[in-house]
Amino acid sequence: MTEMTETAAGWLAPEELESIRGRMPILYVDAVPVRVDESGVVTHVGLLLRIGADGTVSRALVSGRVLYQERVRDALLRHLEKDLGPVALPRIPASPQPFTVAEYFPAPEVTPYHDPRQHAVSLAYIVPVAGDCRPRQDALDLVWFTPEEAASPLVQQEMTGGHGVLLRQALAHVGRLP
């Protein structure tokens, strides 16, 4: 009798993921959802409001793992739909190019990006969305900020794990860092 192995889903059991996180970097995508005007200028940035495992409330970007045998573009679409809803209408090019690569480390002093669970490498994208965005899954809310508001000390202090740094890099990349 042949043993059946599940390969389509690409998910790992929690104990497998924990074991792998302790031994090698995991690939992630980070997405900065934006609204643009008719000339393509970023007018607003969407930030999620989340409750962490420890009960703290913070603002965050769309973020998540790339699954085994999943294209980066498909991972971006999956996480954007998961966090912003099925009618967010993200505009991702056929061959997306990240604006930066962020390395998250368990030790907070290595880079500005910190994830106490693991060493993760994240490809970061700025993604225009045109549809109706409604937070789903573990997000409490989605708030649209102007670039000036998003870069403000008040909003930046609400972001954890280096997402504030990543957001400022995204705003600088599109020429909207105040």
Cα separation, 40 vs 22, in Å, equals 42
pLDDT of residue 103: 97
pLDDT of residue 10: 63
Which of these ranges, 29-38, 84-93, 133-142, 154-163, has the smallest mean pLDDT?
A: 133-142
pLDDT of residue 12: 75
In a domain, 167, yes or no: yes
CATH no. for residue 145? 3.90.79.10
Contact 149, 98 (CB under 8 A): no
In a domain, 142, yes or no: yes
Per the structure, how many domains does the chain have?
1
pLDDT per position as a tens digit, 49-61? 998 878 889 999 9
In a domain, 7, yes or no: no
**Which pTM was predicted?**
0.88
